[in-house]
Copies of this chain bind each other. A is one copy, B any other.
Amino acid sequence: MPNKERPALVQGNIACGYGALAAGCSFFGGYPITPSTEIAEFMARELPKRGGKFIQMEDEMGSLAAVIGASIAGAKAMTATSGPGFSLMQEHIGFAYITETPIVVVNVMRGGPSTGLPTMTSQSDTLQAGFGTHGDYYAVAFAPSSVQEVFEYTVKAFNAAEFLQTPVVLLMDETLAHMREKFIYPPTDSIEVINRKKPETPFAWFKRFEMTPDCISDFPAFGDGYRYHITGLVHDPMGFPTAVSSEIVKSAEKLRDKILIHKDRFTYYEKFMTDDAIWLIIAFGTAARSAKQAVIEARHHRMKVGLLQLYTIWPFPDELIAELSRNVEGIVVAEMNMGQLIREVKKACPRKLPILGANRYDGVLITPDEIIHSLKAVHGSKEK
């Protein structure tokens, strides 16, 4: 564990483990996979020391099942995986969603599809994090870009999961996961920790999935004396399966609105030199670091460039993009895939603007030069 008095050199994956513990995580169920294994190994070392539980399950379906089970039993629970495992977890992400169970799923992205490039960096599971499970699904996903932020956003991921009672995905990339960087453990009392809403109603009146104005219901743990039913079928406020049209609609809308009502609260981003920017870069994760460097260098060449760094990927901050797009003449979306986030940006921009991608998909961190190159291209496309 880190020395809390002094800055330390910490790896991204380890900072994720610190963050989880700081958020109150007491259960980790996982199945090893590069480049996320250090998180599991850290939790295997640290959890039992604190009375928490680590279990290596037989596969990823089992891992997420155990994590959801633990959460239902009251634990703050997480898993960590990478693309192939994330694919296998899709069914259970949907189950956690419809049963409103808070869990944190860390996906350390490597090159895909399939086994792909297991040791190399990527951001190509971005769309999957939004649309990977079957059925209508409103995802929540955060993406930090430095070791310090990994800590911070792991805590935020637990908070969002607990508050919203939904699965939250933490998207990292291999570069960030294996990077070692200066890390300062924040003062413990500065770390905000949110816990799920517990019932005050007596058992007789209790409804696990009660419709409430803010769409958040009380969630006692199994064993707390509130006996109720949980199912992956569409259910009524008591938790029992329903085929009544109005109940089905309400239940689907509750799940959606829960995310949308609280969207602002969990939309994190940073504007970097955007005030006077005529050209905007949009990026997240380590690509955003390259982008920041690109902004600085482009400004050396008197190009008025700014960066919007997204920390919340899902729900996608359409309004924010729409607003920022109003004042710029072109946008570059820098990402380590063949163009995923750019789809959302295009959809969000109400104006017809040149929007270009700066993409890299050979397993190597995108460079500032490549982003500048795309900036020049978008500049050119505007002039024509």
| A248 near B113: Cβ-Cβ < 8 Å | no
- For A245, the closest partner residue in chain B by CB is B362
| Residue from the list B117, B128, B243 in contact with A243, Cβ < 8 A | B117
The residue that A232 contacts in the complex, of B88, B114, B252, B351, with Cβ under 8 A, is: B114
When the two chains form their complex, are residues A338 and B98 in contact, meaning their CB atoms are under 8 A apart?
no
Contact indicator A97/B111 (Cβ below 8 Å):
no
Residues in chain B near residue A312, CB distance under 8 A: none
Q: Does A296 contact B (CB under 8 A)?
A: no
A112 within 8 Å of B (CB atoms) = yes
Given contacts A97-B114, A113-B98, A362-B245, contact A134 B233 (CB under 8 A): no
> In the assembled complex, how far is the CB of residue A158 from the closest CB belonging to chain B, in whole angstroms?
22
A232/B347 contact (C-beta < 8 A), A124-B134, A135-B111 known = no
Number of interface residues of A (CB under 8 A): 60
What sequence of 0s and 1s flags, for each residue 97-136 of chain A, a beta carbon within 8 Å of any chain B beta carbon? 1110000000001011111111010101101101111111
The closest CB in chain B to the CB of A127 belongs to B131
Q: With an 8 A cutoff between CB atoms, is A249 at the interface?
A: yes
**Given A90-B90, A361-B248; A99-B124 close (CB under 8 Å):** no
Give the contacts of A209-248 with B (CB-CB under 8 A).
231-234, 243, 245-246, 248
Closest B residue to A126 by beta carbon equals: B131
- Taking the complex as formed, is A290 at the interface, i.e. its CB lies under 8 A from any CB of chain B? no
How many copies of this chain does one complex carry?
Answer: 2
CB nearest to A128 among chain B residues: B134
Known A256-B338, A361-B249: A124·B112 in contact at CB below 8 Å: no
Report the bound CA distance from A91 to B82 in whole Å: 12
A115 contact from B84, B232, B346, Cβ within 8 A: B232
Q: Would B94 and A114 count as touching, CB distance under 8 A?
A: yes
In the assembled complex, A352 has its CB within 8 A of some CB on chain B: yes
Rounded to whole Å, the gap between the CB of A364 and the closest CB of chain B is: 7
Q: How far is the CB of A282 from chain B (nearest CB, A)?
A: 15
Q: Does A17 contact B (CB under 8 A)?
A: no
* Residues of B contacting A115 in the complex (Cβ-Cβ under 8 angstroms): 95, 231-233
- Are A111 and B232 in contact, CB atoms less than 8 angstroms apart? no
Contacts of A137 in B (CB 8 A): 112-113
Q: Is B86 a contact partner of A88 (Cβ separation < 8 A)?
A: no
Tell me how far the C-beta of A74 lies from the nearest C-beta in chain B, rounded to whole angstroms: 21
Interface residues in A337-384 by Cβ distance below 8 A to B read 337-338, 340, 343, 346-347, 350-352, 361-364
Chain B residues positioned under 8 Å from A131 (CB to CB): 127-128, 130-132
Is A293 part of the binding interface, using a Cβ–Cβ cutoff of 8 Å?
no
**A87 interfacial by beta-carbon distance below 8 Å:** yes
| CA–CA, A130 and B130, complex, Å | 11
Task: Report yes or no: A83 in contact with B248, Cβ–Cβ below 8 A.
Answer: no
Tell me the minimal C-beta distance from A294 to chain B in angstroms. Answer: 20
**In whole angstroms, what is the CA distance A210 to B233 when docked?**
47
**Would B134 and A86 count as touching, CB distance under 8 A?**
yes
Pick the contact of A116: B234, B249, B346, B350 (CB < 8 A). B234
Binding site for B on A (CB under 8 A): 61, 83-84, 86-88, 90-91, 94-95, 97-99, 109, 111-118, 120, 122, 124-125, 127-128, 130-137, 231-234, 243, 245-246, 248-249, 252, 256, 337-338, 340, 343, 346-347, 350-352, 361-364
Q: List 25 A-B contacts (CB under 8 A).
A: A84-B91, A87-B90, A87-B91, A88-B91, A91-B114, A94-B113, A97-B114, A98-B116, A109-B134, A112-B134, A112-B137, A113-B137, A114-B133, A114-B233, A116-B234, A117-B233, A118-B233, A120-B243, A127-B130, A131-B131, A245-B363, A248-B361, A248-B362, A249-B362, A346-B347
Instruction: Please name 7 further chain A to chain B contacts, defined as beta carbons within 8 Å, in addition to the given A90-B90, A132-B134, A343-B347, sorted by A numbering.
Output: A87-B91, A95-B113, A97-B114, A98-B113, A243-B363, A245-B363, A256-B338
